[in-house]
Amino acid sequence: MIFPSIAFAIFFPIVLFLSWTLMPRPARWKPFILLASYVFYAAADPRFCLLLAGATLFNQLAAFVLARVKPPRQRKAIVSVAVAGDLLLLGVFKYYSFFAQQVDDVLNRLHLGLPLPLVTIALPVGISFFTFQAISYTVDVYRGVVKPASLMDFAIYLSFFPHLVAGPIVRAREFLPQLASPRDPEHVAVSAGLGLIGLGLVKKVVIADYLARAIADRVFAVPQAYGAPDVILAAYAYAAQIYCDFSGYTDMAIGLALLLGFEFPQNFDRPYRSLGFREFWRRWHMTLSRFLRDFLYIPLGGNRGGEWFRARNLMLTMLLGGLWHGAAWNFVLWGAFMGGGLVAEHFLIDHTRLHPPAWLRWIITFNLIVFGWVLFRSTSLSLIGTYLSRLTHWTAPTLWSVPVVVAVVGTVGLQLLPSGEMRTVRDRFDRVNPILMGAGLAILIVLVGATVSSQGVPPFIYFRF
Amino acid sequence: MAEPTPPTPPSTPAPTEAAPRHSDDSRMSRFQARGARRFRARDALISVGLTVIILVVLVGPSIRKAGEQMNPGVGRSVILLVGRPAAAIADSLGLTHITHDATAWLSPDQSLSGYPGFATPVAAIGGQAPPVTSDAFDPTTLGLPAPPRRPLTRLLVTGDSLSEPLDQYLAQKLAGKVDVIQDPHIGTAISNTFIVDWAQLAESQVAQDHPQAVVVFIGANEGFPMAGPGGVQVSCCSTEWAALYASRARRMMDTYRQQGAARVYWITVPAVREAAKQKIVRAVDAAVEVAAQPWADQVRIIDSVPVFTPGDVYRDAMPLNGTETIVRESDGIHLNDAGSDYLAGIVDGVLQRDWTLGG
């Protein structure tokens, strides 16, 4: 079930009504919201619910044992087993086919037998997100950042439907305290929530899907059919598309949670205004960046041990971060590119006295990020080569159009506006009478719905991850 | 309306062990910090309820339509449970047409009005059951020389989700030689006209694109009941259903072949993993074979079954260039990139036998 769908438009009002009706009685509300979340998840494939339930029980057991074991070595062993179990789950479902194929290829080249069984395994929706949340919970219990929650609270934390399938990756310390007492029914950010849902819809359905249809999907499918002007515009269009697609989903997720009385961490903060790679990763998919920093980069040693160790840790973190996005070499290459960018930035800051003006840093950063998206979007390494080779073929543009250029420039340009201007607009929406917002949202849904093709709303890009 | 009141930020337990310490980069309190106005939960229910009411009034029939085009199951029943009364309310108020007229210009779909659909009988559009003609024979099967190859410059690749990414790989292989029009229609079916009526769509594609050759790969979403003689609904996968499917497929083939001016390359669906779906696929493939019979010279069936699933037995991987390679997606239906690339190579080979590529 995706947010911009008729099934969800029926599901959510019912859940919202029952949720607030039952909220004063947590003993009833908690089983209800857990059931609602599992129903939401079962819409994709009911069998995946078993996997989610299994991950819940496994990590809760680990947290339960961690809370009772004192010797550090035993605690470390327990948390290691728990994290390994989570990674195994992710590895089997997400990476098995990819790695089996690679190992098989290598063994074949060496004329060795023992090929691994080559089978495809269905990728459960949202597995990358809920396993990361499970890891964060178990590790935070180990670190003493959070106390073990009740099984019910932990199950709700892991499965809460607004964040279940594509984040944001909410940390246990951010969510579990919100389950400690019923949400205050006199204190709901209704207009902010409705505004975010509307904004997310426009970003996803109107901008992202349009750019995909009009240019990005076409060019990235067959780059050899297009000349440099189209290939260049397609890269910028994809940069706008993926931002609107993913941040649109996040806006809707945060807005839905707000209506239910819950708050999620911020996931995007105008990433295309960044003046460097470090800043980009503080603004793009912020909850993943925090996760990678706290559970990978810092445990690897972080900034400690000198610049070579830092460079190694950055590269490892970004390589694995790239691989998290999917089992394919282009994601590994994208991770390496991002890691290389971070390392180079650190080097320039530490060893040179270059202080380029902000506008120049923005141009360099933005264009490098867009180049990174070319690696990310291309479905194979050979296609990346083809794509880049087309940059030397100057032919007349065929896919340039006013709406495409406006969508790209608008998406990027709005992020460059001064913070104050954007805040003023947002604050005004936050204060609008919710009845007006509800009516406005309905009109918006009708208009946005009219732009959807008969084949429906394409899945969010991050659903695949 | 409730007065704004300050929110209670979620409490965070103090770290007790070696946890990384950072400033609050979650920005959990951002709504509080910016003073987002707070309202009562009742206001949330009223506003969302109002949204629902307006949607029912303006686009109620869309809810029913969405339900009708779903496969049978709980989801379909629930959506129809809501959609039918919603459509009745909307129809009685008469605002649906106004909404549709006001927003139709926003639709990215090409208009198919003016083209006859499956509901229009062949006889009504001036056709008739074709007699056996020389078109039914591929000269080479009679030991006769093949006709000279003509240059191919315009190829349409279409179908449902099966045709993607086959279309991309074919376009990549033919880039610079043939103008490949990629026109996949995800989620569609020949046996279900709710999303798109393939009879209309085929007519429109031919009228707009004038392809010299058409590659069709469809069949992932079939199995819907179809109206048989006398309007009786025929369920999959009886011989009656296969006959209805073959009739529809034949109608499309006839459109695509453009009275012999173009060639059609219709790819059968390889066996799928799920037994229930395989039953449908078997009926679809059998129907397609029958459908092509009147025009064996112009409609080529590219049988993917012996290539990907010999003996109609599903497999995830197969030898490609001497290496065992995964060729199917994890859904057990679609071909993955390696499989689509391989199939594109086969189609390319068949095209080269019939055409000189690139003029």
Please check whether residue A121 touches B, CB under 8 A.
yes
Give the Cβ contact number of residue B115 at 10 Å.
19
Whether residue B322 and residue A108 make contact (CB cut-off 8 A), yes or no, is yes
Q: Verify whether the Cβ–Cβ distance B79 to A6 is below 8 Å.
A: yes
What is the model's pLDDT at position B10? 41
pLDDT surpasses 80 at A336: yes
Residue carrying the six token digits 């610079």: B176
pLDDT at B1: 38
Question: What ipTM, to 2 d.p.?
Answer: 0.81
Say whether B51 and A222 touch across the interface (CB within 8 A): no
A-B interface: how many C-beta pairs under 8 angstroms? 263
Q: How much of chain B, in percent, has pLDDT values that exceed 90?
A: 48
pTM here is 0.83
d(CA B117, CA B125): 10
Q: Quick check: B337 contacting A, CB < 8 Å? A: yes
Contacts of A88 (CB under 8 A, 6+ apart): none
- Chain A residue numbers touching B1 (CB-CB < 8 A): 433-434
**A23 phi and psi, to 5 degrees?**
-50, -40
**Taking the CB of residue B2, how many other CB atoms lie within 10 A of it?**
16
Tell me, yes or no, if A106 comes closer than 8 A to chain B by beta carbon.
Answer: no
A112 vs A387: which has the higher pLDDT: A387
> Considering only alpha carbons, which residue of chain A is nearest residue B320?
A105
Mutate to test the interface with B, among A197, A263, A292 (most CBs of B within 10 A): A263
Report which secondary-structure segment, H or E, holds A340: helix A329-351
B253, B295 Cβ separation under 8 angstroms:
yes
Rounded to whole angstroms, how far apart are CA atoms A303 and A92?
32
Q: Collect all residues with Cβ–Cβ distance below 8 Å to A118 and sequence separation of at least 6.
A: A97, A100, A101, A104, B316, B317, B324, B325, B326
A13 touches chain B (CB under 8 A): yes
Interface test with B, best of A8, A75, A188, A292 (most B CBs within 10 A): A188
Give yes or no for A224 touching B (CB within 8 A).
yes
In chain A, residues with a C-beta closer than 8 Å to the C-beta of B48 are: 12-13, 16, 194, 259, 438
The answer to whether residues A19 and A182 touch, using CB atoms and an 8 Å cutoff, is no
Find which of A187, A213, A270 to mutate to test the B interface (most B CBs within 10 Å of its CB). A187
Q: Which of B30, B308, B324, B336 to mutate to test the interface with A (most CBs of A within 10 A)?
A: B324
Distance from CA of A97 to the nearest CA of B (A): 8
Mean pLDDT, residues A353-370: 93
Q: Mean pLDDT for chain A?
A: 91
Highest mean pLDDT among A348-352, A375-379, B128-132: A375-379
The answer, for B43 touching chain A at a CB cutoff of 8 Å, is yes
Give pLDDT tens digits for B55-84. 888 888 888 888 887 777 888 888 899 889
Phi, psi for A435 (deg, rounded to 5): -65, -45
Q: Where in chain B is the domain with CATH 3.40.50.1110?
A: 135-357
Q: Which tens digits make up the pLDDT trace of A29-77?
A: 999 999 999 999 998 888 999 999 999 999 999 999 999 998 989 999 9
Q: Which of A58-67, A320-329, A387-396 has the highest mean pLDDT?
A: A58-67
Smallest Cβ–Cβ distance between B330 and the set A120, A298, A458 belongs to A120
- Distance linking the first and last C-alpha atoms of chain B: 72
Which residues touch A80 (CB under 8 Å, ≥6 apart)?
none
- Closest-CA distance of chain B to residue A139, Å: 9
How far lies A354's CA from each of A273, A276, A345, A361, in Å? Answer: 20, 13, 11, 11
B41: nearest CB among A118, A224, A261: A261
Instruction: Answer yes or no: is pLDDT of B20 > 70.
Output: no
- Collect all residues of chain B within an 8 Å Cβ-Cβ radius of residue A40: none
Contact in structure between A195 and A441 (CB atoms under 8 Å): no
**Structure confidence by residue, pLDDT tens digits, A141-193:** 999 989 999 999 999 999 999 999 887 999 999 999 999 988 888 989 999 99
Percentage of chain A modeled with pLDDT above 70 = 99
Contact B40 A185 (CB under 8 A): yes
**Quick one: pLDDT at residue A114?**
61
| 8 Å CB contact of B10 and A178 | yes
Q: Does B13 sit within 8 Å of A173, measured CB to CB?
A: yes
Instruction: Give yes or no for residue B127 having a pLDDT over 60.
Output: no
- Which residues in A lie closer than 8 A to residue B47 (C-beta atoms)? 190, 194, 434-435, 437-438, 441
Kindly indicate the confidence band of residue A452, based on its pLDDT and cuts at 50, 70 and 90: confident
Chain centroid to CA A5? 20
Per-residue pLDDT at B130? 57
Q: What is the mean pLDDT of residues B248-262?
A: 94
Beta-carbon separation of B51 and A174 below 8 A: no
Q: Over 60: is that where the pLDDT of B124 sits?
A: no
Among A17, A435, A456, beta carbon nearest to B50: A435
Q: Which of B18, B38, B196 lies at the smallest CB-CB distance from A188?
A: B38
Alpha helices in chain B (DSSP H): 30-33, 41-68, 74-93, 95-103, 166-174, 198-209, 239-257, 275-291, 305-308, 337-354
- B37 in contact with chain A, both atoms CB, cutoff 8 A: yes
Residue, of A462 and A129, whose pLDDT is higher: A129
- The reported pLDDT for the residue numbered B18 is 47
CB proximity A53 to B under 8 Å: no
What average pLDDT does the structure give for chain B? 84
Residue A225's Cβ-count burial label (10 Å; 0-12, 13-18, 19+) is buried
Residues 271-310 of A with CB under 8 A from B: 282, 286-287, 290, 293-294, 298
State whether residue B46 sits within 8 Å of chain A by CB: yes
Q: What b/e string do you get for A357-384 counting C-beta neighbours within 10 Å, with b at 16 or more?
A: eeeebbeebbebbbbbbbbbbbeeeebb
List beta partners, residue A123.
none
- Confidence grade of residue B3 (pLDDT, cut at 50, 70, 90): very low
Residues present in chain B in total: 359
Catalytic-labelled residue, pool A187, A325, A351, A393: A325
Top-confidence residue, A170 or A116:
A170
> Residues, chain A, total?
465
Let me know: does A204 contact A5? Beta carbons within 8 Å.
no
The CATH code of the domain at B135-357 is 3.40.50.1110
* Between B118 and A42, residue with greater pLDDT: A42
Span A400-413, average pLDDT: 95
pLDDT at site B23: 53
Class of residue A355 by CB neighbours under 10 A (exposed 0-12, middle 13-18, buried 19+): exposed
Residue closest to B216 by CA, chosen among B310, B297, B284: B284
Among B21, B24, B25, B329, pick the best mutation site for testing chain A contact (most A Cβ within 10 A): B25
CB contact under 8 A, B39 and A142: no
Q: Is B326 helix (H, G, I), strand (E, B) or coil?
A: strand
Q: Is the pLDDT of residue B27 over 90?
A: no
Residue with tokens 């950010």: A189
Quick one: average pLDDT of A304-311?
Answer: 90
Contact B16 A145 (CB under 8 A): yes
Q: What percent of chain B shows pLDDT beyond 70? A: 89
Residue of B237, B239, B200, B238 whose CA lies nearest to B219: B237
More confident residue, A316 or A106: A316
**What pLDDT digit, counting tens, does each position of A423-451 carry?**
787 788 888 888 898 999 999 998 988 88
Which chain A residues are closer than 8 Å to B5 by Cβ? 186-187
A325 is catalytic: yes
